[in-house]
Structure 1
Amino acid sequence: MGHVEDRWYKTLRHEGGRKERVKTQLFGKGLRYRVRYIGPDGKERKKSFPDRAKREAEAFMVSTETDKLRGSYVDPLAGRMTFAEYAETWLRTRSFDESTREVTEHRVRKYLLPFFGSRQLASIKPGHIREWDAALVGKLAPATRAVIFAHLRTILGAAVDDERIAKNPCSAKSVTPPRPVQRRIVPLRYDQVSAIRGGLAQRYRAMVDLGAGCGLRQGEILGLGVDDIDLDAGWVHVTRQVKLVRSRLVFGLPKNDRDRRIPLPDSVALVLHQHIDDFPPVVLTLPWENPADEERVTVPLLFTTTRRGAINRHTFDDKSWRPAVRAAGITPTRATGMHALRHFYASSLLDAGESIKALASYLGHADPGFTLRVYTHLMPASEERTRNAIDNLFGPATEGPGSRS
């Protein structure tokens, strides 16, 4: 059990049981009260309080003993590690694929360390979180602020798990997480997709068919091998993507680290068959996930550059996609990138009555709820179906439920 020690006074015991309270050599020097207690690891801990703060010292002692009994005790010394030190440890030990690690490291070092880096973990309060976020308003898009805030909350949450701080200041009621503005997706029209396709070089046009006809992501299209397509049975098997990691092209798992099978429409199968005849697959070997690792994967790629190399998405976007978008009479924006083909695919399936669950599976979304939130406004209106259902139930419109006896 802990106890509170008064460093300015000591009690002398005289013969006959008389006690006398006298000043010590430390009287008037430094902090007066010192709480001494044994931590869960069996080592003695102590914390000092100033004069006239005996109640605070006693409250700290009671709180500490209670936390020990509950198993929620956090060593105050553990929180003295700076945010920068802990963030670097978190980045080093966190499980990421390499492309995600690269982006996360950039965000943490650019947007979190300048404000929080020199602060001790235990000193970071909800007010600091609010101050930091307020300083970014107007400088970063809400979506970017939301992602960086999620990094901060995750780092401090890990500090709670590691028993360096007792609670996460990002979770305080006074802290409002930034929320991205949810913009309604406006899909490209069929004539616009066709025009963009026509503006691309012949060797790249089948990429549009895979995006608009199967919903593949750009990196998945670039990583598609001839063995991933079953032209006879009508399936596309998405098992990898081509992505950039530290400025180098690598193969990696699809987003959410899960492969999937997508129905291959006959019209797209015919286009792919012709593409394979016109541009035979090129067998290429790239690192797997991390350019620094020795693991290599060889794939007969369907789409390559004119020099028979893997396609860098940034180069493709600058030299091929955006010029084709402009040629189609469309202003190139983030909303008109190659990802717009997935939105076209999703809107087409929803318009045809496909279920959200099936669409989520084809798109590779981990949560059908996410698919619903993104595309719910594209689902066909149900008003006419409701009217028809009731009319069919009750008969001719002149014989409504009120007219029946």
Structure 2
Amino acid sequence: MARQLARGMGSFFKDCGCAKPTCCPHPYSIRFRDALGKQREESGYDTQDDAIERLTQLYAEKKTTAPTVAAARRELGQLTVEEYARQWRPRQRRMTEYSTGWHVDSSINVHIVPRLGSRKLNSVTPMVVERFLDEMESDGVGRGNQVNIFRVLKTVLRDAYAKGAMADDPVKGVQEPEYVRGQVAIPSLAYVKQALLVADEDLALEIVMMAGCGLRNGEARAVNVNNVVAADTYRVREQIHSNTLRPEKLKRRKAGEFREVPLPRSVREAIERHVEKHGMTSEGYLLHGPGGYFTEGMERRRVRKLFTDLPPEEGVGMYGFRHYFASNALGSGIPITDVAEWMGHKSIEETYRTYRHLMPGSITKAARILDAGLWAAA
């Protein structure tokens, strides 16, 4: 049975036929007249408050918007999240197919569409988005992935909102999932040396670039003699992407952008020895297979063999060699601002959150220095 609201606003109801409709789990529907006077219905509202909120939005829109514009917006709002996402994605021309675009497609296809794909845009509210985040948490989706997926969803919904598909911002007040990185496992110098002895020569060079220059795995795979721009400086220009297995732009950088990192003498000599023994491609790359760049399968087999041959050290993987670089730099008194820049972090906060435990005595040390300075002044 329909329940009438204020004149002109429409009504909300359930069609389920349950004995106590207000207590059953079936969704509410709403009935209203659009700006052109045509009667319409929408369904999928979980509570009376959701239904009343939507009717209020429609009534306000009808009073303040030209009939033709309101009709166009309402038609857009009838699209499902999946339909709109499929229309939205091709317009994102700045995304490369195998870099940012691949991760966006994964977020849409694997997480957003299965959970929200059938919901109409005009029924998406902040509460709906909150439930979406709760479902991801319940399903065990990692916090880092939750952050990225939410950002994609927010971008899609805000785009629809800007075009008038919803009367109110569907993510207003929704807090982004917080990603708290656990304490990283950092191998000892002895472990790094043992790894260099056990690894084959190509993987050993990767380890050298990560532990000596702070490169990410893909950046280390793209080691290139042309990037040695000075005796003590290496220019990080690209990475071998794990999907394309070809050189791609750096993480969080535009095409053509680079960063420069210290090049220790021992690392430069390791590059020179590898070139002398194994040569390089015409473009200057050192790590390559018979048909070009190493495939992901080849990489996994080499890494698996390495850690099978090494004594177990809890939590340490290939990325641990990059962590060793940070530990070595910070432990040697190099400013964290420099370390953050060399590692290509988005901000110094990322560096601090990840490696703050490497500086446990900084406050105590500072207190002693300041105290000495105060006594000297007295």
TM-score category of the 2 structures, normalised to the smaller one: 0.7 to 0.9
CA contact (8 A) 2:62 2:70 kept: no
- Counterparts of 1:250 and 1:244, CA distance in 2: 8
Q: State the alpha-carbon separation in 2 of the partners of residues 158 and 309 from structure 1.
A: 41
User: Deviation of residue 82 (structure 1)?
Assistant: 1.4
Partner SS state of residue 234, structure 2: strand
Change (3 A) 1:326 1:168: farther
Question: 371-380 or 152-161, which moves further after superposition?
Answer: 371-380
Question: Retained in 1: the 8 A contact 2:34–2:71?
Answer: no
Equivalent of 1:321 in 303, 316, 331? 303
**What are the Cα deviations for residues 316-337 of structure 1, in whole angstroms up to 9, with x where unaligned?**
1x211232123221258xx533
Does residue 255 of structure 1 match 2:237?
Answer: no
Q: How does 1:236-385 map to 2 (within 5 A)?
A: 236-245=234-243, 248-257=244-253, 258-283=257-282, 299-305=283-289, 307=290, 309-316=292-299, 318-330=300-312, 335-379=315-359, 381-382=361-362, 383-385=364-366
Provide closer, same or farther for how the CA distance between residues 158 and 346 of structure 1 changes in structure 2, counting only shifts above 3 A: same
Gaps of 5+ in 1: 7-30, 37-44, 51-55, 284-298, 396-400
Partner SS, residue 105 of structure 1? helix
Higher strand share goes to which structure?
Answer: 1
Q: CA deviation at 1:366?
A: 3.1
Aligned twin of 1:105: 105
Note closer, same or farther for the CA distance 1:269–1:49 as it changes in structure 2 (3 Å cut): closer
For 2:208 and 2:55, locate their aligned partners in 1 and report how far apart those are by CA, in whole Å: 71
Q: Deviations over 1:316-361 (max 9, x none)?
A: 1x211232123221258xx533222221111211112222221122
- What is the rounded CA distance, in whole Å, between the counterparts of 2:303 and 2:55 in structure 1? 67
SS in 2 for 1:133: helix
Q: Which structure would you say has the larger Rg?
A: 1
5+ residue gaps, structure 2 = 1-6, 10-29, 42-53
Could you tell me how far 1:390 is from its partner in structure 2? 0.9
Shift of 1:236: 0.8
| TM-score, structure 1 as length reference | 0.72
Is 1:198 the counterpart of 2:197? The answer is: yes
Q: Which residue of 2 aligns with 1:178?
A: 177
- 1:19-38 matched pairs, under 5 angstroms: 34=33, 36=35
Check the 8 A contact 1:211/1:342 in 2, yes or no.
Answer: yes
8 Å CA contact retained: 1:74, 1:166: no
Post-superposition Cα deviations, 1:41-84, rounded to whole Å, max 9, x if no partner, equal: xxxx446599xxxxx9999655654578xx99993332111111
Distance 1:88 1:394, change over 3 A: same
Residue-by-residue CA offset, 1:274-322 (whole Å, 9 max, x unaligned):
1211111123xxxxxxxxxxxxxxx2211123x3631124431x21123
Q: Which moved more, 1:177-186 or 1:116-125?
A: 177-186
Q: Deviations over 1:240-291 (max 9, x none)?
A: 111133xx422211111231111211121122221211111123xxxxxxxx
Would the alpha carbon gap of residues 58 and 250 (structure 1) be closer, same or farther in structure 2, given more than 3 Å must change?
closer
- Superposition deviation, residue 205 in structure 1: 1.4
Superposed, 1:38-117 pairs within 5 Å as 45-46=36-37, 64-66=62-64, 75-94=73-92, 95-99=94-98, 100-117=100-117
SS in 2 for 1:171: coil
Does the C-alpha gap of structure 1 residues 276 and 164 become closer, same or farther in structure 2, counting only changes over 3 Å?
A: same
Aligned to 2:261, what secondary structure does the other structure show? strand
Distance change >3 Å, CA 126–CA 322, structure 1 → 2: same
- In the superposition, the TM-score normalised over structure 2's length comes to 0.76
Q: What is the aligned residue count? A: 332
